[in-house]
Chains A and B, each alone.
Chain A
Amino acid sequence: MSRLIVATIVLLGAIGGLLAAASWNRGGDPQVLTLSEREVVLAGPWTTRDADTRPQVRIRWQPREDPLDARLWLPDVTLRELGFVTGLPAGAPEARQVYGRALPRTAWVAFELAGPDWQLMEQRLRMGASRDTVDQENTVSCPSTRAWIPMRCGGATTRARS
């Protein structure tokens, strides 16, 4: 028997294991979410000599990086649940050093499309409370529509503009 049979089995086993895991993960009733070009854009160059020829897309989403806003959708409680240490006030002199050394944590972010948070945001927008601020954020605008797509992120909402 070939000395390389073990290597062959390991390789085929690994690839087979990945296929089986994907098959298991995709089992059950599929749930379909239809996205349009407003939310999903084609990305990547296809014309260069050695480029990867696979079509790639990326999802447009709106990060909520404003510190005051972040305290609403990612409060201390959620941060502690994720494993971060949050005892030190953000304004303390040593806060930058302490929080700067914190290790990143693994967390899942769920996006919500046109759900209750969107309605809440619509209400806020109608009230005009944050319209001006929002317009200055790093959003992708689409002249044909003025709709907002709120997306749930870590238990609170983030939003993408279409």
Chain B
Amino acid sequence: MAEERETAQRRADRVRAFREEIDALRAEGACPIADAELAAVRDHHDRLLADLASRFDVDRTAHGRQVSLGLRIATLLGAGAFVAALTLLVLRVWCGLGQPAQVTLLCAAPLAALAVVQVTAERRGLRDIAALFAMVALGTAWFAIGQTATLLGMPFSPLLFWPAAGFGIAVAMSYGFGLVLALSLGALLVAVASVFFVSGGVPWSAVFERLEPLVGTAWMLAIVAPRAEPLGNWLVAPARLTGLVVGLGGLLVLAAVEGTSVLALQPSSARLAYECVFPFVSIVVTWQRLRAHDPAAARLAGTLLGCFLLIRYVDWFWDLLPGWAFFLVLGALSLAAIGLLQRARSRVEHA
């Protein structure tokens, strides 16, 4: 379903680009196609777009795409609000219930959300509602798993991340919910990385204090993401992006904060090593993603590289330079970065 929608959206985008170009050619007086032929094509495209919009809820115009972005933000906020409401309600009525009723209540919330997803996902025009309730199902399921463990007096274990991730991936795969997939893969990364520590007798929460296992797992996800293409084209991008967010973000923290490495080196030496590694890796990723026409991943890598350079610049020069010189050099460096990026863009376009 998600794959079909992606294909439909790409077709709608091509139609929109074609129409814009024809309009521009006509304005310049360089359109070789007769008006009657153009009218026939336009009629065909109108029917096609109406059909795609009714079947796959695609955006037909540039304004429609902007509205879709707003819808996604509203979906995220709405899902967060529903999950908060349900968890607070459960905690509120919790005390007066017996254990079977408590467990039933915990399971009921995600199952009810799944039922709404089932009803809305295949109805025309209700895909955003389905996405919202998919997020609600994910949040309430994670709450249910964690709360059931607490209820039964079990310590919070990384083993809980496995079913949490499995549930999220199953929901995401059902109708192609990218954000649900990304969050679930994040939980999966924590589950896999925690094995490294738990097997060595170290508490799993060290995953967030010493970052290499998490970063390594995330890079593996980013690398193997394209191999998931047979399962569906749509899941490659969110999987790769999740891997890059955690992998590059973790590398940035390793390069910026001492004491976050598990390596048997002095903390300052480990940070220095990552200071050398991070710019190289982020430049390679930016370049490679630009060539692969993956603007989201390229933007992410470029933004993190910018953050790294800013952190290093402040770290090295804030005490060394007077305020005016500090910001003047910063402005000059921005100009240099613009020049470099323009050259990179022209190279990519001509590659």
Interface residues in chain A, defined as those with a beta carbon under 8 Å from any beta carbon in chain B? 2-4, 6-8, 10-15, 17-19, 21-22, 50-55, 82-83, 97, 101, 103-106
- State whether the Cβ of B106 lies closer than 8 Å to any Cβ in chain A: yes
A18 near B154 (CB under 8 angstroms)? yes
Interface of chain B residues 133 through 186 with chain A (CB within 8 A)? 137, 141, 144-145, 148-149, 152-154, 163-164, 166-167, 170-171, 173-175
Is the pair A21, B145 in contact by a Cβ cutoff of 8 Å? no
A83–B200 Cα distance when bound, in Å, is: 9
Asked if B322 is at the interface (CB within 8 A of a chain A CB), the reply is: no
Dominant secondary structure at the B interface: helix
Is there contact, CB below 8 Å, between A3 and B103? no
Chain B contacts of A97 at CB under 8 A? 266
Question: Do B174 and A7 touch across chains, with their CB atoms under 8 A apart?
Answer: yes
B341: min CB distance to chain A, Å: 39
Verify B171–A15 contact, CB threshold 8 A. Answer: no
Least CB distance, A30 to chain B, in whole angstroms:
14
Partner of A104, one of B154, B163, B170, B203: B203
Q: Are B145 and A18 in contact (CB under 8 A)?
A: yes
Chain B interface size band reads 35 or more
In the complex, which of the residues B93, B95, B117, B201 contacts A4, with contact meaning CB atoms closer than 8 Å?
A: B117
Q: Which residues of the other chain, B, contact A13 by a CB distance below 8 angstroms?
A: 163
Q: Which 6 A-B pairs have the closest CB atoms?
A: A14-B163, A7-B170, A22-B152, A3-B174, A53-B95, A6-B170
Chain A binder among B107-115, B237-245, B325-333:
B107-115
A10 / chain B contacts, CB cutoff of 8 Å: 163, 166-167, 170
Q: Point out the residues of chain B lying under 8 angstroms from A106, CB to CB.
A: 198, 201-203
